[in-house]
Structure 1
Amino acid sequence: MPRPVPTEAQVRIDLAAAYRLAAQRGWDDTIYTHLSASVPGEPGSYLINPFGARFDEISASSLVKVNRHGEVVDGSGRSVNPTGFTIHGAVHAARPDAACVIHLHTPWGVALSMRPEGLLPTSQFAMRLHGRLGRHAYEGLALGEAEQRRLVANLGALDGLILDNHGTLTVGRSVAEAWMLMYLLERAAQAQLAAMAAGPGLRVVPEEIAALTYRQWVGDGSEIDGDLEWPALLRGLDRSSPGYKD
């Protein structure tokens, strides 16, 4: 059964919530990095944070509407970081199914991006992401069109990327899905890197067991990541940071 198309107002609330939830977990990088969402019914239009605002300051009404080049199109005159939207714009344009794109520079995500083996099936967090992540080599600041094409090609139809020596990226069919995938990636990275730091030896689950575990998580496919978790997360946010809906 097709999922109902959300309204722009609903997407604004979800995206603002995603920013606040990210801030609560220390995923922000002062005023840098972004979470973006496509505007329902307006192909080529996206919502993003205003430049200079912290994640914990974002509200539904403060989000800025831009085109795929990061140019403001809502007439507000507010500023955004156009270079910061470079990766997001390329991914949104190549993946119309990507209703939300999250790119972060978290300590665990950046640390994982430095490891040559990448994410291993060492925890249930990681196995929920089994076969869903790609990698993109570091080429400097991702501003050029040639690198954008390579990044999009490395993402393909996957749900995320480890950006070598840079950070992490996830995409989702909803804000909730993209946020939950980033949460899982963060927890998986933290667990793996903590185990590596504890001493030699790492128990890695065999490929066939990792694949089985992922299939068990997916079930019949009627639910996507975030469907169950997002309402609970919003209830908590309503108590701790209610201004996100404004």
Structure 2
Amino acid sequence: MSAIPDEAARPHWCEPQEWAARVKLAATYRVFHLMGWTELIFNHITLRVPGPEKHFLINPFGLAYDEIKASNLVKVDLDGQILSPSDYPINPAGFVIHSAIHAHMEDAHCVMHTHTTAGLAVACMESGLAYTNFYSAQLHGMVAYHDFEGITVHDEEKPRLLKSMGDHRLLILRNHGLLAHGTSLAHAFVLLWTLNRACEIQCVTDSMRGQTIPIDPAITARSTRDALQFSPAHGAGENVLAALIRRVERIDPSYKE
């Protein structure tokens, strides 16, 4: 099995439940590296720390995703105060977006934000996501949009971002990138994977000659209901993420340190 915490590696200052969350989050950062969903030392995956406080884990600002380990993830509160030993700061731009969602959406246990080429390309298009392929057809009514206001380092943008998102799980940040939040790491991952895959296909489709075939909204609604990767009966993404973590484990298990 993968992403099993090594109790011998757990620092004295970290409770077992938090350590388990750290190990799985670090593994997911390595999955993103494996898939090429990286942007130098930028972008973020955040995960709530188990417990009553709204604390969450975020990547240390200065490390690439393949350098992230369970022990060097940074625990912060909603004010951005660092609560765990760290040799690194956190990225203010990441904190503003992620803290807004963690603070105001009770079931947003994980938030993911990427600048993949395909995702950013679609975010730059006025028409946004096109419901013309197998993957976008599984996202009926799930995607919202937020207008670009510059680099997200200002708290004043938080209420507007939350208003834009509403009750949607996926947000296309116009001219910026993609964002997903889920009830777990795996849930957020399969949501973001599906959206990013839809963007990849759309970019290729738009580069070809010919007329794109639209999909009837009734079909996209049914496809979204039928999508196995979102279904609790089929693991709600846990089986998908676990398979990728096993691949990471075979390559480099140092994420568990």
TM score, norm. by length of structure 2: 0.88
Q: CA RMSD in A?
A: 1.8
String of CA shifts for 1:165-190, please: whole Å, max 9, x gaps: 00110001111111221111111100
- Is 1:238 the counterpart of 2:249? The answer is yes
Counterpart contact for 2:28–2:245, Cα < 8 Å: no
Counterpart contact for 1:72–1:78, Cα < 8 Å: no
For 2:176 and 2:235, locate their aligned partners in 1 and report how far apart those are by CA, in whole Å: 27
1:226 alignment partner in structure 2: 237
TM score, norm. by length of structure 1: 0.91
- Secondary structure, counterpart of 2:94 in structure 1: coil
Q: Which amino acid aligns with 1:234?
A: I
- Is 1:164 the counterpart of 2:179? The answer is no
For 2:47 and 2:231, locate their aligned partners in 1 and report how far apart those are by CA, in whole Å: 27
For 1:220 and 1:51, locate their aligned partners in 2 and report how far apart those are by CA, in whole Å: 34
Rate the CA distance shift 1:147–1:231 in 2: closer, same or farther, 3 A: same
String of CA shifts for 1:75-111, please: whole Å, max 9, x gaps: 4454222332110001110112111101111111110
- Is 1:192 the counterpart of 2:202? The answer is yes
1:35 alignment partner in structure 2: 45
For 2:202 and 2:93, locate their aligned partners in 1 and report how far apart those are by CA, in whole Å: 32
Which one is further off, 37-46 or 118-127? Answer: 118-127
Rate the CA distance shift 1:56–1:76 in 2: closer, same or farther, 3 A: closer
**Percent identity between the two aligned chains:** 37
Counterpart contact for 2:132–2:215, Cα < 8 Å: yes
Q: Which amino acid aligns with 2:177?
A: G
Match of 2:99 among 74, 89, 97: 89
1:3 alignment partner in structure 2: none
Counterpart contact for 2:62–2:88, Cα < 8 Å: no
Match of 1:120 among 126, 130, 136: 130
Rate the CA distance shift 1:182–1:136 in 2: closer, same or farther, 3 A: same
- Is 1:110 the counterpart of 2:120? The answer is yes
| Structure 1 residue ranges without an equivalent (≥5) | 1-5
Paired residues, what number?
Answer: 241
Q: Which amino acid aligns with 1:245?
A: K
Rate the CA distance shift 1:15–1:220 in 2: closer, same or farther, 3 A: closer
Which one is further off, 217-226 or 66-75? Answer: 217-226
Question: Structure 1 residue 227: deviation in Å?
Answer: 2.4
Segments of 4+ moved more than 6 angstroms: none
- Secondary structure, counterpart of 2:83 in structure 1: coil
For 1:223 and 1:95, locate their aligned partners in 2 and report how far apart those are by CA, in whole Å: 25
Counterpart contact for 1:126–1:188, Cα < 8 Å: yes
- Secondary structure, counterpart of 1:161 in structure 2: strand
Counterpart contact for 1:69–1:86, Cα < 8 Å: no
String of CA shifts for 1:1-45, please: whole Å, max 9, x gaps: xxxxx9322211221111111111211111111111010104221
Q: Which amino acid aligns with 1:69?
A: D
Question: Structure 1 residue 137: deviation in Å?
Answer: 0.5
- Secondary structure, counterpart of 1:85 in structure 2: helix
String of CA shifts for 1:172-224, please: whole Å, max 9, x gaps: 11111112211111111000110011123111211001111111126975446
